[in-house]
Chains A and B, each alone.
Chain A
Amino acid sequence: MRTAREYGLAVCQSCGWLVQDAPARCDRCGRKVHFRNPASLQKVWAYWLAGVIAYIPGNTYPIMITKSVAGENAATIIGGVLTLIHHQSYLVAGVVFIASIVIPVSKFLVIAWLALSIQRGQATGEHTRLHAYEATEFIGRWSMVDVFVVAALAALIQLGALVSIQPGIGIQAFALSVIFTMLSANAFDARLIWDREQDKENDDDNL
């Protein structure tokens, strides 16, 4: 299998146009075209770290504060899941648990694994890695669900002294974490998975 880069061609990542004198602007859609996205892994790691850091306050600070005649109750993400289980809403508890805990954590692990495998020059499991990357890109945005739940509940439950819900500061950090992780996955150049040492002569703008 011959790659476009071996023939001095670079593929536009927006529209698929082949460019002969990369790095240059794509003459179909105007995007900057490189053989490989420059500094791809540095960007991946920078956004990844920001995502992990924001995830911590996202989980330790309350995301929702319920005020009622019975008093005030601040719930974290995990707290919300436990309440749902307590009320036997297992399906919704499952949705929130997967969207807010399972997806973000596995995304951190998958992105770190992909970036490390490239840095170590791993030459096996390309298909698995590409599938893992595509799944991460596809699923990652769904973590936003909990942010929308909090916004909808805070808007809906406004019954004065009886009961009202306020968004907690944790949800802001959580949303930030999801956005950073999406940016991290976006910065990853999937073509790096297939690159081998011997075909890196044209690698003028990589890393």
Chain B
Amino acid sequence: MSEFHAENPLPQSADDLNAQYIACPHCDSLYVRPRLSENEKLECTRCHSIIMTNKVRSSERTLAAMIGALILYGVAVSFPFLSMERSGLENKISVIDCISVLWTNQMYLLSIALALLIVVLPVSRILLLVQVVGTIRVNGRAGWRNARALRWAQFLEPWSMAEIFMIGVIVSLVKVGKMANITVGPSFIALTVLIVLLTWTSTAMCRSTTWAALERKQ
């Protein structure tokens, strides 16, 4: 890796410019863009952020994980994840029940927020990634509309809270475990595997390679 030097005149076209240089998004340092070999990383010498990666088989691994995640999400939302039994009374709950109970208690905003954070946004993010990575996998490249999709998928990442919901479920399990008989449903297992898959994807997916495979709007 080498730093940018003032003697080098900047190329006029945006394509040449971006083919030759890269900047750190966290501290703005400019570098001559290196050729990375497999699994090599470019680390910023000033702030030590990772600027660029080159992970092997990023698109097929991401695609496989995302299709798996989509199926698991279907299971997680359609089946009950916990059921409790006490004194002959039984209650089974699904993810949807957690959202609707807020609605019936007049907490409309919170109910909508929950629907977004644990169902709508995570599923949209997975669908967007399937579209982008799937197109790249099939065609080798993808058109500019996919760049918009990838940008939205990145935007949705902090707002997709499936894994936090899961920790919440475990905490509530411990809270009521002593006062009633609690059984975990199929959706509980689906959610657990889903969390593992989503966490794994964030390490398997290579942002630099994915962005580089996207064409620009002319």
Contacts and interface: CB of A to CB of B under 8 A. Distances in A.
A and B found bound together: yes
Interface of A: 1-7, 9, 11, 13-20, 27-31, 84, 87, 89, 91-92, 95-96, 126-127, 130, 137, 141-142, 144-149, 151-160, 162-163, 166-167, 169, 171-172, 175, 179, 182, 186, 190-191, 193-195
A20 B14 contact: yes
B110 interface: yes
B110 A175 contact: yes
A5 B22 CA distance: 12
Given A2-B4, A156-B82, 11 more contacts: A2-B3, A15-B151, A146-B168, A147-B168, A148-B114, A148-B118, A149-B171, A154-B102, A162-B87, A172-B110, A175-B113
A13 B86 contact: no
Interface residues of B, number: 73
B101 A18 contact: no
B93 A141 contact: no
B46 A194 contact: yes
Given A27-B14, A144-B161, A156-B84, A1 B46 contact: yes
B216 interface: yes
B147 A141 contact: no
Contacts of A145: 164, 167-168, 171
B138 interface: no
Contacts of A179: 113
A131 B165 CA distance: 26
A57 B2 CA distance: 53
A7 B10 contact: yes
Nearest to B149: A29
Interface stretch (B25-33, B55-63, B70-78): B25-33
Contacts of B172: 148-149, 152-153, 156
B142 to A, nearest CB: 12
Given A27-B14, A30-B151, A156-B82, A1 B21 contact: no
A149 B168 contact: yes
26 contacts: A4-B28, A7-B4, A9-B30, A11-B23, A16-B52, A18-B18, A18-B21, A18-B22, A19-B14, A29-B151, A29-B214, A84-B175, A141-B161, A144-B164, A145-B167, A149-B172, A151-B99, A152-B169, A152-B172, A154-B102, A157-B176, A166-B105, A167-B110, A179-B113, A182-B158, A191-B27
Of A11, A126, A152, A182, most B-chain CB atoms within 10 Å: A152
Contacts of B114: 147-148, 151
B161 to A, nearest CB: 6
A190 B29 CA distance: 12
Contacts, number: 210
Contact of B105 (A19, A160, A167, A194): A167
Contacts of A153: 172, 175-176
A23 B29 CA distance: 18
A39 to B, nearest CB: 18
Given A29-B150, A156-B93, A3 B30 contact: yes
Nearest to B114: A151
B90 to A, nearest CB: 9
A172 B109 contact: yes
Contacts of B100: 155
A65 B86 CA distance: 19
B177 to A, nearest CB: 9
Contacts of A16: 22-23, 25, 51-52, 208, 211
